[in-house]
Amino acid sequence: MPGWTLSYDRFDPDQEKRREALCTLGNGYFATRGAAPEATADDVHYPGTYLAGVYNRVETVVDGYLTEYETLVNAPNWLSLSFRIEDAEWIDLRGMAILSYRQELHLQHGMLSRAVRFEDAQGRRTRLTERRFVHMGCPHLAGLETVILAENWAGRIDIRSAIDGTVANKLVENQPGAETRHVVPIDGEALSNDVVWLKVRTSQSRIEIDVAARTRMEAEGNRHQPECHEITHPDYIGHVRSAELAEGATLVVDKVAAIYTSCDPAISEGGLAARQAVMEAPNFADLLASHITHWGHLWRRCGLSLADGHVETECILRLHIFHVLQTASPNTRSRDVAAPSRGWTGEAYHGHIFWDELFVLAYLNRHFPDVSRSLLLYRYRRLDAARRDARRWGYKGAMFPWQSGSDGREETPPAYANPRTGGWIRDDTRLERHIDGAVAYNVWQYYEVTGDLDFLNDYGAEILIDIARFWSSIATYNEELARYEIHGVMGPDEFHTGYPGAETPGLSNNTYTNVLAVWSLCRALDALNRLPTWRREELSEQLNLHPDEIQRWEDVSRRMRIVSFGDGILAQFEGYERLEELDWDAYRERYGDIERLDYILDAEGDTPNRYKLSKQPDVLMLFYLFSNEELSELFERLGYAFDREMMRRNIDYYLQRSSRGSTLSRVVYAWIVARIDLSRSWTWFNEALRSDVDDIQGGTTPDGVHLGAMSGTVDLMERCYGGIEARGDTLRFDPHLPDELPRLSMRLLYRRCWLDITVTRDRLCIHAAEDAPAEVKIRVGQRVERLIPGGRIDTSW
Ligand code: BGC
């Protein structure tokens, strides 16, 4: 299917781990990397199965200090399936002559297939065809079908199908010496000829994971039940079954697996649930059919099509939507999980939750608002942990962690390894207090897009109030300047951790943080105004919120200090202009790839803190989050000048000083540049688009896809090129179509109303679904119209 299939036509051991991450199949409850079923973890393959939100904590020594960290757990491998012919070794493609090879990820159907023809050392030619899925509708189930055709041989074939609990977390070696085994076998057995079951428990979090599998096989021409041997090691349970194959005959092996954990609702015990699920499950073909139906329903909510000639772009965008939905899907709704920065596709960043969610929720809000709501509840449930952390640091309100896991405490490790030196670099990113701004932004965006006042009432307002409290308490008043300031923080640019030579980390008046603080305070004030009186009173009593505190929010939000220098350049932080210029050309010449200047400078005994440089957009993030109109309102509130030219100058200034060391950078640059130079934006967009399919960072995709960049590219297509902004109970349109993209169509949900939108070079057409519950307000240019159910707006722009 053009535009719907990611395919590989060669077995390439060097690329295997990247493909495994890209071809991960998941359903928001669990995900399994696209590793070959016969593979175990080695230098080429890395099978991984991750359950959303299943973490485990272990102790380790980092840079000489005993510390602990929490990581996403690699769960037992349900996929494990191998075969051998006569007395040969168990199959390993690396030892075979491969005659043909094709691996395909079918995005529309959520299915991964592999078709290989190979010849072994004895000249036996075999055709192997596999299909697999992780069921989108029955979130505990997955299936693998294997068809083996004996092309030019006849003889015995042994099939080994197992649940492999010998797994460990070894994909990313970023905690040298740390314990990698997180699961301990508890129970399990081979129940009958076709069902096996294994129960493990995570070593610290004590979550029981039950995996059961049913394997059935049918050999053409075999009238007898195949011979069967059990394998029952404590952490590896399976069957070996043998059959005789005639030349030209096929063998079909159908494996269905079920996974449950002790955190699941509506079960009495995981083992029982898993065994029952596989025993009662339909066969592979029927399960696949219902799985495809479920994907069909999801795709209907994600309609996005581009002008002719963009099939490949559409395909990659669909791959990105696919991964977003495999990370957070309707199955996520009842679960206490959020969207980790690398999806559930690998072990990078230990599966932690960062501000990257901002890029993911922005998309989900318009297509699966109920899923966004559920992800926001993850933060709500961790408000107490954030309040505790704020208190510990001497602040009020809630201070969300930079890296979050199961209980909402700060999970940022104290140091990270520098691959250039093998040494450690201190990790101060926990000072990225702007994470609170990201949580507030996510709450408010969700509310703006959905108008879900119940959410604001029950959860959102409380989050916003506690975030406002935090900003108000971290802000200190500078009498001399009659302005509020924020000290001791880091901005999104992680290369600057502090002032050159300073003993303690942290920077003052990071513009991004200060503006986001102001914006969050304003939204908390807005939220209070929108609540019905009874709820406002309840919350005020519950949270001890007094009028003088609200007055302070007003005051801080009008008198926050924004530092600028030169010709209206917003200072990344106070004192930035006094840093040295880096000799970019010399570094590019010396090192080629200078994306990770932190590694390079550290290896030289230097530090990025001395220079005017950045890993990723910092000040420029403001132009990504806010329209010019909203920014100028914010600056006006603060009594500072802001104009379009200022934006242009800031973009020029900071773009020249960025190493683009994060995949999020390209999404943001493509977005902000769209307002001044669309063709440059298109170039950035295309780079962002290829972040994972081409692994443009040269080796990070195998450890997990970059969910923020994936979601960000789709969001960019819809919101930036489509020019959509949901603000003030109105859906505003201001399209920016690059020349290369003469048409863009999308379907999205705004305030419970499905809208079909088509933007061309000069026209904008918006059609509201007949069954929309109410009219919505649409603004195109300065004109505001009310779009009634079934109504249409067709206008020039
Ligand atoms: C980026 C952060 C991001 C994190 C997780 C880092 O490399 O600098 O902005 O949150 O990766 O994706």
Residues of the chain with pLDDT under 70: 1, 174, 223-224
- DSSP classification of residue 498: B
- pLDDT on residue 617: 95
Query: Contact at 8 Å (CB) between 793 and 764?
Result: yes
Query: Starting at the edge strand that comes first in sequence, how are the strands of the sheet with 753-760 ordered?
Result: 304-306, 743-750, 753-760, 763-768, 792-796
Percent of the chain with pLDDT over 90: 94
Q: Supply the pTM of this predicted model.
A: 0.98
Which ligand 1 atom is the nearest neighbour of the CA of 349?
Answer: 5
- The count of other CB atoms within 10 Å of the CB of residue 782 is 5
663-673 vs 678-689: helix crossing angle, rounded to 10: 160
99 — phi, psi (to 5°)?
A: -90, -35
**Separation of 700 CA from ligand 1 center, angstroms?**
12
- 452 in ligand 1 pocket by Cβ < 6 Å? no
Which ligand 1 atom is the nearest neighbour of the CA of 341?
Answer: 12
* Residue from 72, 174, 327, 341 to probe ligand 1 pocket by mutation (most atoms less than 8 Å from CB): 341
Catalytic residues: 494
- 354 in ligand 1 pocket by Cβ < 6 Å? yes
- 495 in ligand 1 pocket by Cβ < 6 Å? no
| Residue with CA closest to ligand 1 atom 6 | 662
- pLDDT on residue 224: 65
- pLDDT on residue 226: 74
Residue-wise burial string across 325-359, b where 16 or more C-beta atoms lie within 10 A, e elsewhere: bbbbbbbbeebebbbbbbbbbbbbbbbbbbbbbbb
Can you state the percent helix, strand and coil of the chain, rounding each to 5? 35, 30, 40
**Separation of 619 CA from ligand 1 center, angstroms?**
16
Query: Contact at 8 Å (CB) between 717 and 740?
Result: no
CA nearest 736: which of 681, 668, 667, 664?
681
**Separation of 438 CA from ligand 1 center, angstroms?**
13
| Cβ-Cβ contacts under 8 Å for 486 (sequence gap 6 or more) | 433, 471, 474, 475, 476, 508, 509, 510, 513, 514, 517, 560
Q: Which helix (H) or strand (E) holds 792?
A: strand 792-796
Structure tokens at 134: 């992780």
Query: Contact at 8 Å (CB) between 106 and 112?
Result: yes
Query: Contact at 8 Å (CB) between 698 and 634?
Result: no
User: Exposed (0-12), middle (13-18) or buried (19+): which is 544, by Cβ within 10 Å?
Assistant: exposed
Q: Residue 403 and residue 410: Cα distance in Å, rounded?
A: 6
CA nearest 532: which of 463, 462, 460, 456?
456
Query: Contact at 8 Å (CB) between 115 and 101?
Result: yes
| Cβ-Cβ contacts under 8 Å for 75 (sequence gap 6 or more) | 30, 49, 50, 51, 54, 167, 183, 200, 209, 211, 259
Q: Residue 399 and residue 402: Cα distance in Å, rounded?
A: 9
Give residue 33's identity as a one-letter amino acid code: R
- The count of other CB atoms within 10 Å of the CB of residue 739 is 9
Query: Contact at 8 Å (CB) between 117 and 151?
Result: yes
In 42-96, where do the E strands start and end? 49-62, 65-74, 81-85
**Separation of 613 CA from ligand 1 center, angstroms?**
17
- Residue 600 C-alpha from the chain's centroid: 28
- The count of other CB atoms within 10 Å of the CB of residue 78 is 30
**Separation of 662 CA from ligand 1 center, angstroms?**
6
| Residue with CA closest to ligand 1 atom 12 | 341
- pLDDT on residue 334: 84
- 359 in ligand 1 pocket by Cβ < 6 Å? no
Q: Residue 281 and residue 138: Cα distance in Å, rounded?
A: 10
Residue 444 three-state SS: helix
User: Exposed (0-12), middle (13-18) or buried (19+): which is 475, by Cβ within 10 Å?
Assistant: buried
- The count of other CB atoms within 10 Å of the CB of residue 470 is 27
Task: Characterize the bridge pairing of strands 776-780 and 730-733.
Answer: parallel
